[in-house]
Structure 1
Amino acid sequence: MKEILYRLFEHQYLGREEAKTVLTNMAEGKYSEAQIAAFVTVYLMRSITVDELIGFREALLDMRVPVDLSEYNPIDIVGTGGDNHNTFNISTLSCFVVAGAGYKVAKHGNFGATSVSGASNVMEQHGVKFTNDNDRLRRSIEETNIAYLHAPMFNLALKTVAPVRKALQVRSFFNVLGPLVNPIQPKRNMLGVFNLKMARLYYYLYQQTGGDFSIVHSLDGYDEISLTSDFKVITKSGEKMYTPESLGFERIAQEALDGGKTPENASQIFDNVLNNTATPAQKNTVIVNAAFAIQTINPELSIEECIDQAKKSVESGAALKILKKFVALNS
């Protein structure tokens, strides 16, 4: 690792196979936490290359616990995190809204590294017990339309680096990797990114998968559609700019999306949204994200039709019913 660090400090890059080897060694415990922290920090000072990202991704996928939900053709809705906005769990809520609208979802998530509450935090707050058992995951997606895959249970490397990520509390290349290493490798993805450079990187990778995808970015730096600014949506058909107003929503203040200071705060907002008692800003942000996920599944639908489906899922109580059934099944 010492030689690799010296090379990286001199602004050199890793080849695809080198990157794969480093991450494999990391998972096998061959590096100290200090070495891992130094390695991770390099990527705060420069961008990750396509070869490095592919190598890291291949290592994680080769080591993953196998699970197969392909017959359900589910979607994953995820943000890279690391946008420094500490929002409530918008992507995870969108998953339940999409499931409430009748679509299958396989959510890959983890504890928050750069925010108060990651997807796994809010699941844990609701009493969910994580599993990597294929039969239990299949039962969950069949009976509730949603399966939750807690990342460290499917990959040793993610578990190994978790203490370092938590201690650093800054964005790392693991934020970039997370959306690419869902162990079931879904053919449908909606991904939020924190800058447009990252959007182009994912666009290049998703094009190679042949699946359906939407990459979203709010121009004021959110890794989701925040309704606080104009936003861009990139699909395999091209890219398009939207304003909140063009979709019938009011532009909102950034403070309206704050997730609070504790996981309990974020969990309360989560419940408020699904109980249809949240603020209009919180509710509409979830609805618009869920709508674009629905359009990723059904590109032939207009975004207005998708917004109606998402709104109906929340206001009819369908999304809340899914959550209650999901928690009962997975506790």
Structure 2
Amino acid sequence: MIKKAIQTLVSGKSLTMEEAAQVMEEIMEGQVTPAQFGAFVTALRLKGETVEEIAGMAQTMRAKAIRVKVAGPVIDVVGTGGDGRNTFNISTAAALVVAGAGLKVAKHGNRAASSGCGAADVLEALGVKIELTAEQVQRCIAEVGMGFMFAPAFHPAMKYAGPPRREIGIRTVFNILGPLTNPARAGNYLLGIADGSLVEKMALVLQSLGCNHALVVHGEDGLDEISLSGETRVCELKDGGINNYSLSPKDFGLPRASLDSLKGGTAAENATLLRSILSGTPGPQRDVVLMNAAAALLAGDKAKTVRQGMALAKEALDNGQALSRLEQLIKLSQSFA
């Protein structure tokens, strides 16, 4: 199938969802050579990935993932990465605030791809044990309100794609598949996109994968988060319909701040910063975390408006619940032998 797929893409035509799913099956079964893999993902990127192609590949990847069973609704707060802005781990901090506000979070992530510090790196630096089994993550979500699924542990069949991906060095469809393939099958999402051309496409992919409510966001400054420096494009999927709008800091009752004020560093530095934010230190770092947590609470149906989400997020920070979730997550994850 892979050879036929490459020919199709090179001629400028698109694959059906079924064909894309079949190619992904071959990749994940180790039946594709590195040269074929490189030709396929490059041709797909040059043509431009369609909703059907992304959804087909995501379906196969989801089917082959180790499943985490959860009771009730869960949200993932995640970005594609690759925005090149080297901000601190905003979505990881926001996820802890969301958990503190009483919404269960199934966070799916990896080590850094393009920045200095990914979600896995900062959680590990904070003392969270990241390589857990599905049952252990399940317990974290049930008992703490947040669990972290380290992508390589839950997508073992992706090992065949890893080395050629790193060698290619450009953004490919694989950079956007990770956030779509949550092993807990999260029905709610705050999904940040670094590539503005993919915002609506990703919402449509989530729709085809059966997602209930999602906010797909892209900062006009290029951030794969809701931005504090300007406008953020939002594509909201809710009740099967899609609505496009924009949000700015004033919609959250916050002043604008420069991107420079959100710069991150090493995993250890970011861990210190996250603790400081969760401990109540004011400033732009706290503000951007509150904004993203507020939007996630909206996407998770815990809040009806972003202003209501802001009130809940502030409360979770101010009453110590967000920090408490982190402490509980560290303790429980480390208790697993």
Quick check: TM above 0.5? yes
1:222-256 superposed Cα distances (whole Å, 9 cap, x missing partner)? 11102111113332262332221232211111212
User: 1:124 and 2:124 equivalent?
Assistant: yes
Counterparts of 1:161-240 in structure 2, within 5 Å, are: 161-208=161-208, 209=210, 211-235=212-236, 236=238, 238-240=243-245
Preserved CA contact (<8 Å) 1:195 1:221 = yes
Gaps of 5+ in 1: none
After TM superposition, give the deviation of residue 7 of structure 1 in Å. Answer: 4.7
Q: Which deviates further from its counterpart, 56-65 or 8-17?
A: 8-17
> In the superposition, relative to structure 1, how do residues 125 and 168 fare at CA in structure 2: closer, same or farther (>3 Å)?
farther
CA distance 1:167–1:284, shift in 2 (3 Å): farther
Q: Distance in 2 between matches of 1:300 and 1:114?
A: 33
Letter paired with 2:154: F
Residue number in structure 2 paired with 1:75? 75
Counterpart of 2:95 in structure 1 is 95
Residue 329 of structure 2: aligned partner: 326
Q: How much identity, in percent, do the aligned residues show?
A: 34
Provide the residue aligned with 1:243 in structure 2.
248
C-alpha separation in 2, matches of 1:282 and 1:288: 10
Deviations 1:84-111 (A, max 9, x none): 2122111111110111112111111111
Instruction: Give the aligned residue type for 2:117.
Output: S
Alpha-carbon offset, residue 64 of structure 1: 1.4
User: Which range moved further: 292-301 or 212-221?
Assistant: 292-301
The alignment of Structure 1 onto Structure 2 pairs a total of residues equal to: 328
Give, in whole Å, the separation in 1 of the partners of 2:117 and 2:187. 27
Give the corresponding residue for 1:266. 270
Q: Which amino acid aligns with 1:124?
A: E
CA distance in structure 2 between the aligned counterparts of 1:234 and 1:6, rounded to whole angstroms: 33
Q: 1:300 to 1:275 in 2, by over 3 A?
A: closer
Q: Which residue of 2 aligns with 1:290?
A: 293
Match of 2:306 in 1: 303
Change (3 A) 1:40 1:138: same
* Gap change, CA 1:200 and 1:302, over 3 Å in 2: closer
Which of 30-39 and 171-180 deviates more?
Answer: 30-39
Distance 1:123 1:37 in 2: 32
Match of 1:51 in 2: 52
| C-alpha distance in 1 between matches for 2:158 and 2:261 | 32
Output the CA distance in 1 between the equivalents of 2:157 and 2:173. 13
Secondary structure at 1:276 match in 2: coil
CA contact (8 A) 1:113 1:170 kept: no
In structure 2, the CA distance between the partners of 1:318 and 1:300, relative to structure 1 (3 Å rule), is closer
Once the 2 structures are TM-superposed, how far is the Cα of residue 163 of structure 1 from its aligned partner? 3.5
Deviations 1:17-73 (A, max 9, x none): 33222222222223344543443333443421122112211211221112211x231
Instruction: Tell me which residue corresponds to 2:259.
Output: 254
Contact kept in structure 2, 1:113 and 1:165, CA below 8 Å: no
User: SS in structure 2 opposite 1:87?
Assistant: coil
**Which range moved further: 306-315 or 42-51?**
42-51
With over 3 angstroms needed to count, the CA separation of the structure-2 counterparts of 1:166 and 1:313, relative to structure 1, is: farther
Cα distance, 1:57–1:184 mapped onto 2, change above 3 Å = same
The alignment's TM-score, normalised by the length of structure 1, stands at 0.89
Q: Retained in 2: the 8 A contact 1:314–1:320?
A: yes
Q: CA RMSD in A?
A: 2.3
Q: Structure 2: where are the runs of 5+ without partners?
A: none
Could you say what secondary structure the match of 1:72 adopts? coil
Output one character per residue of 1:119-141: Cα deviation in whole Å (capped at 9) or x when no partner: 11212223433345343222211
